[in-house]
Protein backbone atom coordinates (compact mmCIF):
# COMPACT_ATOMS: atom_id res chain seq x y z
CA UNK A 1 0.00 0.00 0.00
CA UNK A 2 1.05 3.58 -0.71
CA UNK A 3 -0.21 6.25 1.68
CA UNK A 4 0.57 9.90 2.30
CA UNK A 5 0.18 11.20 5.85
CA UNK A 6 0.05 14.82 6.99
CA UNK A 7 1.98 15.13 10.25
CA UNK A 8 0.84 18.08 12.37
CA UNK A 9 2.68 18.00 15.69
CA UNK A 10 1.27 21.33 16.87
CA UNK A 11 2.06 22.78 20.28
CA UNK A 12 3.39 21.75 23.67
CA UNK A 13 3.90 18.01 24.10
CA UNK A 14 2.70 17.47 20.55
CA UNK A 15 6.27 18.18 19.47
CA UNK A 16 7.47 15.22 21.56
CA UNK A 17 4.76 12.58 21.20
CA UNK A 18 4.07 12.75 17.46
CA UNK A 19 7.65 11.82 16.46
CA UNK A 20 7.34 8.64 18.56
CA UNK A 21 4.18 7.65 16.68
CA UNK A 22 5.82 8.42 13.32
CA UNK A 23 8.72 6.11 14.22
CA UNK A 24 6.25 3.28 14.80
CA UNK A 25 4.39 3.98 11.55
CA UNK A 26 7.68 3.95 9.63
CA UNK A 27 8.48 0.58 11.20
CA UNK A 28 5.03 -0.69 10.17
CA UNK A 29 5.76 0.31 6.59
CA UNK A 30 9.11 -1.48 6.59
CA UNK A 31 7.85 -4.64 8.28
CA UNK A 32 4.71 -5.06 6.19
CA UNK A 33 6.13 -3.67 2.93
CA UNK A 34 4.03 -0.51 2.64
CA UNK A 35 5.21 2.84 1.34
CA UNK A 36 4.26 5.62 3.74
CA UNK A 37 5.11 9.25 3.02
CA UNK A 38 5.13 11.71 5.92
CA UNK A 39 4.76 15.45 5.24
CA UNK A 40 4.96 17.89 8.13
CA UNK A 41 2.80 21.00 8.44
CA UNK A 42 2.28 23.90 10.84
CA UNK A 43 -0.85 24.12 12.97
CA UNK A 44 -2.08 25.87 16.12
CA UNK A 45 0.15 28.22 18.08
CA UNK A 46 3.24 27.18 16.14
CA UNK A 47 1.56 28.32 12.93
CA UNK A 48 0.28 31.48 14.55
CA UNK A 49 3.77 32.48 15.66
CA UNK A 50 5.28 31.84 12.25
CA UNK A 51 2.64 32.91 9.74
CA UNK A 52 -0.02 34.72 11.78
CA UNK A 53 -2.92 32.23 11.54
CA UNK A 54 -3.61 28.94 13.38
CA UNK A 55 -4.53 27.03 10.22
CA UNK A 56 -2.44 28.16 7.22
CA UNK A 57 -3.74 27.54 3.72
CA UNK A 58 -0.73 25.31 3.02
CA UNK A 59 -1.56 23.10 5.99
CA UNK A 60 -5.21 22.80 4.99
CA UNK A 61 -4.21 21.93 1.43
CA UNK A 62 -1.77 19.30 2.76
CA UNK A 63 -4.50 17.75 4.90
CA UNK A 64 -6.92 17.61 1.98
CA UNK A 65 -4.32 16.03 -0.31
CA UNK A 66 -3.27 13.36 2.22
CA UNK A 67 -4.76 9.97 2.99
CA UNK A 68 -4.78 10.72 6.73
CA UNK A 69 -3.78 13.36 9.26
CA UNK A 70 -1.77 12.56 12.39
CA UNK A 71 -2.20 15.40 14.88
CA UNK A 72 -0.52 16.13 18.21
CA UNK A 73 -2.09 18.93 20.24
CA UNK A 74 -2.71 22.67 19.97
CA UNK A 75 -3.00 25.61 22.33
CA UNK A 76 -1.50 26.88 25.54
CA UNK A 77 -1.49 29.87 27.92
CA UNK A 78 0.74 31.85 25.55
CA UNK A 79 -2.14 32.33 23.10
CA UNK A 80 -5.14 32.51 25.46
CA UNK A 81 -5.46 36.30 25.32
CA UNK A 82 -5.90 36.42 21.55
CA UNK A 83 -9.21 37.18 19.88
CA UNK A 84 -11.34 34.13 19.28
CA UNK A 85 -10.66 33.70 15.54
CA UNK A 86 -6.90 33.56 16.14
CA UNK A 87 -6.80 31.07 18.98
CA UNK A 88 -4.93 27.82 18.18
CA UNK A 89 -8.04 25.72 18.87
CA UNK A 90 -9.71 27.30 15.83
CA UNK A 91 -7.38 25.15 13.73
CA UNK A 92 -9.06 21.99 15.03
CA UNK A 93 -12.53 23.25 14.22
CA UNK A 94 -11.33 24.37 10.80
CA UNK A 95 -9.80 21.00 9.97
CA UNK A 96 -12.90 19.13 11.11
CA UNK A 97 -15.18 21.36 9.09
CA UNK A 98 -13.05 21.51 5.93
CA UNK A 99 -12.35 17.78 5.91
CA UNK A 100 -15.95 16.88 6.73
CA UNK A 101 -14.95 14.95 9.85
CA UNK A 102 -18.38 14.51 11.37
CA UNK A 103 -17.70 11.48 13.60
CA UNK A 104 -15.24 11.31 16.48
CA UNK A 105 -14.52 7.83 17.86
CA UNK A 106 -13.00 7.73 21.33
CA UNK A 107 -12.40 4.28 22.81
CA UNK A 108 -11.86 3.90 26.54
CA UNK A 109 -10.46 0.51 27.41
CA UNK A 110 -8.71 -0.37 30.64
CA UNK A 111 -5.37 -2.14 30.35
CA UNK A 112 -5.56 -4.72 33.18
CA UNK A 113 -2.12 -3.85 34.55
CA UNK A 114 -3.18 -0.20 34.97
CA UNK A 115 -6.24 -0.83 37.13
CA UNK A 116 -4.51 0.68 40.14
CA UNK A 117 -3.73 3.89 38.22
CA UNK A 118 -7.42 4.83 38.24
CA UNK A 119 -8.87 6.80 41.12
CA UNK A 120 -11.85 4.43 41.20
CA UNK A 121 -12.04 1.05 42.90
CA UNK A 122 -10.68 -1.90 40.92
CA UNK A 123 -14.01 -3.74 41.03
CA UNK A 124 -15.73 -0.75 39.41
CA UNK A 125 -13.36 -0.32 36.49
CA UNK A 126 -12.03 -3.80 35.69
CA UNK A 127 -13.33 -4.84 32.28
CA UNK A 128 -14.12 -1.36 30.98
CA UNK A 129 -14.29 -1.37 27.18
CA UNK A 130 -16.48 1.37 25.75
CA UNK A 131 -16.57 3.63 22.71
CA UNK A 132 -17.85 7.20 22.67
CA UNK A 133 -19.12 8.24 19.23
CA UNK A 134 -19.25 12.03 19.26
CA UNK A 135 -20.88 14.15 16.56
CA UNK A 136 -18.15 16.56 15.54
CA UNK A 137 -19.26 19.22 13.05
CA UNK A 138 -22.65 20.33 14.36
CA UNK A 139 -24.20 21.41 17.60
CA UNK A 140 -23.32 24.35 19.77
CA UNK A 141 -19.72 24.67 18.54
CA UNK A 142 -20.85 25.48 15.01
CA UNK A 143 -24.44 26.72 15.37
CA UNK A 144 -25.38 30.29 14.47
CA UNK A 145 -26.05 32.94 15.66
CA UNK A 146 -23.01 33.08 17.90
CA UNK A 147 -20.82 35.77 19.37
CA UNK A 148 -20.61 38.50 21.99
CA UNK A 149 -22.60 41.71 21.57
CA UNK A 150 -22.91 44.94 23.47
CA UNK A 151 -26.04 45.58 25.50
CA UNK A 152 -27.32 48.47 27.58
CA UNK A 153 -26.14 46.70 30.73
CA UNK A 154 -22.86 45.26 29.45
CA UNK A 155 -22.45 42.37 27.03
CA UNK A 156 -24.37 39.31 25.88
CA UNK A 157 -22.76 36.01 24.81
CA UNK A 158 -24.68 33.76 22.42
CA UNK A 159 -24.11 30.21 21.20
CA UNK A 160 -26.73 28.19 19.37
CA UNK A 161 -27.32 24.43 19.55
CA UNK A 162 -28.46 23.32 16.08
CA UNK A 163 -28.87 19.85 14.58
CA UNK A 164 -30.45 18.70 11.33
CA UNK A 165 -32.00 15.35 10.56
CA UNK A 166 -29.14 14.36 8.27
CA UNK A 167 -26.44 15.29 10.80
CA UNK A 168 -28.10 13.09 13.40
CA UNK A 169 -28.83 10.27 10.97
CA UNK A 170 -25.25 9.87 9.78
CA UNK A 171 -23.69 9.86 13.27
CA UNK A 172 -26.30 7.38 14.51
CA UNK A 173 -25.44 5.10 11.60
CA UNK A 174 -21.75 5.22 12.54
CA UNK A 175 -22.62 4.25 16.12
CA UNK A 176 -24.84 1.32 15.16
CA UNK A 177 -22.27 0.02 12.68
CA UNK A 178 -19.55 0.26 15.33
CA UNK A 179 -21.75 -1.61 17.81
CA UNK A 180 -22.17 -4.47 15.35
CA UNK A 181 -18.41 -5.07 15.63
CA UNK A 182 -18.57 -4.95 19.43
CA UNK A 183 -21.26 -6.05 21.92
CA UNK A 184 -24.22 -4.70 19.94
CA UNK A 185 -25.40 -2.18 22.54
CA UNK A 186 -25.90 1.56 21.91
CA UNK A 187 -26.81 4.21 24.45
CA UNK A 188 -27.92 7.48 22.87
CA UNK A 189 -27.19 10.40 25.19
CA UNK A 190 -29.26 13.59 25.01
CA UNK A 191 -31.24 16.10 27.07
CA UNK A 192 -34.60 15.56 25.39
CA UNK A 193 -36.53 16.58 28.50
CA UNK A 194 -35.24 20.15 28.14
CA UNK A 195 -33.77 20.80 24.67
CA UNK A 196 -35.72 20.76 21.42
CA UNK A 197 -32.54 19.86 19.53
CA UNK A 198 -32.28 16.77 21.73
CA UNK A 199 -35.94 15.95 21.11
CA UNK A 200 -35.16 15.80 17.40
CA UNK A 201 -31.95 13.88 18.14
CA UNK A 202 -33.86 11.15 19.96
CA UNK A 203 -36.54 10.85 17.26
CA UNK A 204 -34.00 10.48 14.46
CA UNK A 205 -31.86 7.97 16.37
CA UNK A 206 -34.96 5.84 16.96
CA UNK A 207 -35.76 5.98 13.24
CA UNK A 208 -32.21 4.97 12.20
CA UNK A 209 -32.29 2.12 14.71
CA UNK A 210 -35.03 0.42 12.67
CA UNK A 211 -32.32 -0.53 10.18
CA UNK A 212 -30.26 -2.20 12.92
CA UNK A 213 -32.67 -4.58 14.69
CA UNK A 214 -29.74 -6.72 15.89
CA UNK A 215 -28.42 -3.83 18.01
CA UNK A 216 -29.96 -2.90 21.36
CA UNK A 217 -30.79 0.81 21.76
CA UNK A 218 -31.44 2.67 25.00
CA UNK A 219 -31.59 6.39 25.81
CA UNK A 220 -30.07 8.29 28.68
CA UNK A 221 -30.08 11.94 29.74
CA UNK A 222 -26.59 13.40 29.78
CA UNK A 223 -26.54 14.22 33.50
CA UNK A 224 -27.54 10.66 34.37
CA UNK A 225 -24.96 9.31 31.92
CA UNK A 226 -22.22 11.35 33.60
CA UNK A 227 -23.20 9.78 36.91
CA UNK A 228 -23.50 6.25 35.50
CA UNK A 229 -20.01 6.44 33.97
CA UNK A 230 -18.68 6.71 37.50
CA UNK A 231 -21.15 4.40 39.21
CA UNK A 232 -21.15 1.51 36.72
CA UNK A 233 -19.04 2.13 33.61
CA UNK A 234 -19.05 -1.54 32.58
CA UNK A 235 -22.70 -1.25 31.53
CA UNK A 236 -21.68 0.76 28.43
CA UNK A 237 -20.61 -0.51 25.04
CA UNK A 238 -21.17 2.32 22.52
CA UNK A 239 -22.36 5.80 23.49
CA UNK A 240 -23.50 8.19 20.75
CA UNK A 241 -24.06 11.84 21.53
CA UNK A 242 -23.77 15.46 20.49
CA UNK A 243 -20.66 17.55 20.02
CA UNK A 244 -20.76 19.27 23.42
CA UNK A 245 -21.92 16.27 25.46
CA UNK A 246 -19.41 14.01 23.72
CA UNK A 247 -16.57 16.41 24.43
CA UNK A 248 -17.29 16.24 28.15
CA UNK A 249 -18.27 12.59 28.52
CA UNK A 250 -15.30 11.25 26.55
CA UNK A 251 -12.86 13.06 28.85
CA UNK A 252 -14.70 11.64 31.85
CA UNK A 253 -14.51 8.15 30.33
CA UNK A 254 -10.80 8.66 29.70
CA UNK A 255 -10.06 9.18 33.37
CA UNK A 256 -11.73 5.88 34.25
CA UNK A 257 -8.75 4.19 32.63
CA UNK A 258 -6.23 5.96 34.83
CA UNK A 259 -4.84 8.66 32.56
CA UNK A 260 -6.03 10.84 29.73
CA UNK A 261 -2.57 10.23 28.25
CA UNK A 262 -3.58 6.68 27.33
CA UNK A 263 -6.48 7.23 24.99
CA UNK A 264 -6.54 7.76 21.22
CA UNK A 265 -9.22 9.10 18.92
CA UNK A 266 -10.25 8.97 15.29
CA UNK A 267 -12.19 11.70 13.49
CA UNK A 268 -13.67 10.30 10.31
CA UNK A 269 -15.84 11.49 7.45
CA UNK A 270 -16.11 11.01 3.73
CA UNK A 271 -12.38 11.11 2.87
CA UNK A 272 -9.21 11.59 4.94
CA UNK A 273 -9.52 11.09 8.68
CA UNK A 274 -7.68 12.83 11.50
CA UNK A 275 -6.10 10.82 14.30
CA UNK A 276 -5.00 12.37 17.59
CA UNK A 277 -4.66 11.75 21.32
CA UNK A 278 -7.57 13.19 23.27
CA UNK A 279 -5.37 15.09 25.72
CA UNK A 280 -4.23 18.68 25.25
CA UNK A 281 -0.85 20.30 24.74
CA UNK A 282 0.09 20.06 28.46
CA UNK A 283 2.38 23.12 28.41
CA UNK A 284 3.39 22.53 32.04
CA UNK A 285 5.34 19.41 31.08
CA UNK A 286 6.24 20.29 27.47
CA UNK A 287 9.90 19.88 26.59
CA UNK A 288 10.64 17.85 29.73
CA UNK A 289 10.42 14.32 28.28
CA UNK A 290 7.52 13.55 30.63
CA UNK A 291 4.53 13.18 28.28
CA UNK A 292 2.97 9.78 27.68
CA UNK A 293 3.18 8.92 23.95
CA UNK A 294 0.90 5.88 24.17
CA UNK A 295 -2.28 7.75 23.20
CA UNK A 296 -0.59 9.08 20.07
CA UNK A 297 0.86 5.70 19.11
CA UNK A 298 -2.56 4.13 19.70
CA UNK A 299 -4.04 6.85 17.47
CA UNK A 300 -1.59 5.75 14.79
CA UNK A 301 -2.96 2.22 15.22
CA UNK A 302 -6.48 3.57 14.70
CA UNK A 303 -5.22 5.31 11.56
CA UNK A 304 -4.01 1.97 10.25
CA UNK A 305 -7.27 0.22 11.09
CA UNK A 306 -9.92 2.81 10.23
CA UNK A 307 -8.26 4.78 7.44
CA UNK A 308 -6.04 2.28 5.65
CA UNK A 309 -7.95 -0.91 6.54
CA UNK A 310 -4.71 -2.51 7.75
CA UNK A 311 -6.15 -4.48 10.64
CA UNK A 312 -3.22 -6.88 10.99
CA UNK A 313 -0.77 -4.00 11.21
CA UNK A 314 -2.93 -2.13 13.73
CA UNK A 315 -3.18 -5.22 15.93
CA UNK A 316 0.62 -5.58 15.87
CA UNK A 317 1.02 -2.02 17.17
CA UNK A 318 -1.59 -2.59 19.88
CA UNK A 319 0.17 -5.79 20.95
CA UNK A 320 3.46 -3.88 21.24
CA UNK A 321 1.78 -1.31 23.52
CA UNK A 322 0.29 -4.06 25.70
CA UNK A 323 3.59 -5.93 25.94
CA UNK A 324 5.43 -2.75 26.91
CA UNK A 325 2.99 -2.16 29.75
CA UNK A 326 3.24 -5.80 30.82
CA UNK A 327 7.01 -5.32 31.04
CA UNK A 328 6.39 -2.59 33.60
CA UNK A 329 7.30 0.52 31.63
CA UNK A 330 5.48 3.56 32.99
CA UNK A 331 5.51 7.28 32.28
CA UNK A 332 4.85 9.56 35.24
CA UNK A 333 1.08 9.81 34.67
CA UNK A 334 0.63 6.04 35.04
CA UNK A 335 3.46 5.42 37.51
CA UNK A 336 2.88 2.54 39.90
CA UNK A 337 4.93 0.87 42.66
CA UNK A 338 7.55 -1.41 41.12
CA UNK A 339 7.12 0.02 37.63
CA UNK A 340 9.98 1.18 35.41
CA UNK A 341 9.62 4.95 35.30
CA UNK A 342 10.60 6.25 31.85
CA UNK A 343 10.23 9.39 29.78
CA UNK A 344 8.51 10.09 26.47
CA UNK A 345 11.36 8.91 24.27
CA UNK A 346 12.10 5.83 26.35
CA UNK A 347 8.46 4.72 26.29
CA UNK A 348 8.34 5.24 22.53
CA UNK A 349 11.56 3.27 22.08
CA UNK A 350 10.25 0.40 24.20
CA UNK A 351 7.07 0.14 22.16
CA UNK A 352 9.04 0.32 18.90
CA UNK A 353 11.40 -2.39 20.12
CA UNK A 354 8.54 -4.69 21.06
CA UNK A 355 6.89 -4.05 17.70
CA UNK A 356 10.07 -4.92 15.80
CA UNK A 357 10.51 -8.09 17.84
CA UNK A 358 6.87 -9.12 17.47
- pLDDT tens digit sequence for 146-172: 999 999 999 999 999 999 999 999 999
Q: β-strand 264-268 against 103-109: which pairing, if any?
A: antiparallel
If pLDDT is split at 50, 70 and 90, which confidence band does 231 have? very high
Q: Which of 23, 163, 191, 237 is catalytic?
A: 191
Q: Mind listing the pLDDT tens digit for each residue in 6-31?
A: 999 999 999 999 999 999 999 999 99
State yes or no: is 49 an active-site residue: no
CA distance 272 to 170: 17
For residues 145, 148, 150 and 151, what is the CA-based torsion angle, rounded to 10 degrees? 70
Q: What is the pTM of this model?
A: 0.87
The fold for domain 1-109+260-358 equals Isopropylmalate Dehydrogenase (3.40.718)
Show the 3-state SS of 28-83: HHHHHCCEEEEEECCCCHHHHHHHCCCCCHHHHHHHHHCCEEEEEECCCHHHCCCC
Tell me the domain boundaries of the chain. Answer: 1-109+260-358, 129-256
Give the active site residue among 64, 78, 129, 251: 251
**117 pLDDT above the threshold of 80:** no
Q: 103 pairs with which residues across the strands? A: 135, 268
What is the CATH code of the structural domain delimited by 129-256? 3.40.718.10
| 258 has a pLDDT exceeding 80 | no
Residue 55: other Cβ atoms inside 10 A: 25
Query: Quick check: 254 pLDDT over 90?
Result: no
Given a cut of 90, whether residue 120 has pLDDT beyond it is no
Tally of residues, the chain? 358
* Pick from 321, 269, 281: nearest CA to 299: 321
Active-site residue identified among 11, 23, 67, 141: 141
| CA-to-CA separations, 9 to 36, 173, 178, 277, in angstroms, rounded | 17, 31, 28, 11
- Using a pLDDT cut of 70, give the percent of the chain over it: 100
Mean pLDDT of 26-40: 98
**The pLDDT of residue 236:** 98
Give catalytic status of residue 11 as yes or no.
no
How crowded is the C-beta side of 122, counted as CA atoms within 13 Å?
5
What is the crossing angle of helices 14-32 and 311-326, to 10°?
120
The active-site residue, picked from 58, 223, 284, 311, is 223
Judge if 1-109+260-358 and 129-256 fold alike in CATH terms.
Answer: yes
Is residue 141 flagged as an active site residue?
yes
Amino acid sequence: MNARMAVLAGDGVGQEIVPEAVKVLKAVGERFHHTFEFVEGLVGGQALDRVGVPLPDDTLALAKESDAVLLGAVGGPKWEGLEYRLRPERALLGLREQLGLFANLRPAKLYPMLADASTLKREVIEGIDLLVVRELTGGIYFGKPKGIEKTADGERGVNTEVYTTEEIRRIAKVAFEAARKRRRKVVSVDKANVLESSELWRRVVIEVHKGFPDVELTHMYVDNCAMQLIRNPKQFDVLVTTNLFGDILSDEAAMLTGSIGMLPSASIGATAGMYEPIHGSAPDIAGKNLANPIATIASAAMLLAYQLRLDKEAEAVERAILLTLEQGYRTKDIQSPGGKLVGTKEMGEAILRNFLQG
